[in-house]
Amino acid sequence: MAKPIKRRDKWYFLTLGAKWDRAVVPIYEAAARGRCVPLLKTLLTSHCKNDCKYCAFRAERKCLRTAWNPQKLAEITMHLWSQGKIRGLFLSSSVAKDPDHVTEKQLEVLNNLRSMGYCGYIHLRIMPGTSRHFIREAVRLADRVGVNLEAPNSDIFDELCPDKGGFKEAILKRLDWIIEEVISLKRKGEVKGRKFGFSRAGIDTQLIVGAVEDNDLQHIRTTEWLYKKLGLRRVYYSGFEPIPQTSLEKRPACPPWREYRLYQASFLIRDYGITSKELETILNDKGFLPNMDPKRVLAKINPEIFPVDLNTASFHEIVRIPHIGPTTAKKILEARKAKPIKYSSDLEKILGPHLTRKVLQYVEVKDKSLIQFQNNY
């Protein structure tokens, strides 16, 4: 007879296991536009019937298997939230039986929490193949909802996840349903006046990077489609790590810098108006990004767009300047309403001296040559 798992061991194992779902960075500090938000991040269960080649919890792998009781997990979450130790819950899962069974249990946690008066943040991962009525309920209860694509296209998905269902049917259709349910609730006016739930924080997904023969071009094109065509709020990347007792255990890990550069490229698409076509110009002949800031590389190969006149340039022209992001660009647009930006001292009042020195070569100011001379000597 198997030895029963102690509660503290279950806690450790299921929260540790959730690290394979990279919606946040490893209570867990979620990255949220410059802020760190403490979340309880856990799997509902580690039992799984699928044999995804990269996964620590694939069916054929020998590992500890356990699960949360939905009521108990809700109580623990409520306790941590009321104590101020967490701001929210991120709940994912392995697929113990069928997708609907797992999603129903996840929704039981969410319903219990909301009925207890919990109005904190909830981020829910939907299982591939989940029925639409469960997706509708998930959108109503959670602040962010997503389903993991895992791969940039169907060929790679079929190689990585042979028994998860078809890429279009089990994944893309569910993503479409999430989007449609969010739109439907907004049209009905059900979101107005609500302080939580209704997927107010948007829709997200995740891609595994480097588990098989893929390249950055595939991920960049898929990311652009997800942001620009489907309107997702966030695309996460999970760099492949080899797991013992899996068919990919001898494959090398994805270099951390590759995951980082993909994130940089994805933000350029989402927030800076840069297209996948533009990013293709800096890829090597195998379709990979260089290990350099892609924005700086784009600036280097497009010198004709500089220097930028900060007094007449549009928002999208300003955010193309290396070291300047959307927030800083908005500060520049606001500052120039009161006074033209003619000298480096004008720029320093907006950006500070350190950032001004970095962007000086890309902008028009009357005393640029003098400042550069002083910096060199």
The least confident of 63-72, 254-263, 290-299, 364-373 is 364-373
Q: Hunting for tokens 């109503």 — which residue is that?
A: 140
Any idea what the Cα angle at residue 73 is, between residues 72 and 79, rounded to 5°?
90
Q: Determine the Cα–Cα distance for residues 277 and 228; give it in Å rounded to an integer.
A: 14
Confidence (pLDDT) at 272: 96
211 plus 110 within the same structural domain: yes
Q: Which of 245, 263, 281 is the last residue of a domain?
A: 263
Confidence (pLDDT) at 372: 53
Query: Is 51 a domain residue?
Result: yes
312 plus 170 within the same structural domain: no
Query: Is 278 a domain residue?
Result: no
Confidence (pLDDT) at 2: 46
Q: Determine the Cα–Cα distance for residues 35 and 14; give it in Å rounded to an integer.
A: 25
Query: Is 148 a domain residue?
Result: yes
Structure tokens at 83: 């104590």
Reported residue count of the chain is 377
Query: Is 294 a domain residue?
Result: no
Confidence (pLDDT) at 32: 64
308 plus 259 within the same structural domain: no
For residue 163, how many other CB atoms are within 10 A of its CB?
A: 12
Query: Is 275 a domain residue?
Result: no
186 plus 321 within the same structural domain: no
163 plus 216 within the same structural domain: yes
What's the CATH code of the domain at 153? 3.20.20.70
Number of structural domains found in the chain: 2
Query: Is 285 a domain residue?
Result: no
Domain, as residue range, for 325: 303-376
Query: Is 293 a domain residue?
Result: no
8 A C-beta contact, residue 127 and residue 179 = no
Q: How confident is the model at residue 322 (pLDDT cuts 50, 70, 90)?
A: very high
Q: Does pTM surpass 0.85? A: yes
8 A C-beta contact, residue 125 and residue 134 = no
Any idea what the Cα angle at residue 225 is, between residues 221 and 227, rounded to 5°?
115
366 plus 242 within the same structural domain: no
Residue with more model confidence, 264 or 16:
264
pLDDT in tens, 199-252: 999 999 999 999 999 999 999 999 999 999 999 999 999 999 999 999 999 999
H or E element, residue 32:
strand 28-32
Our CA dihedral for 207, 212, 216, 218, rounded to 10 degrees, sits at -70
Q: Give the distance, in angstroms, between the CA of residue 375 and the centroid of all CA atoms in the same chain.
A: 39
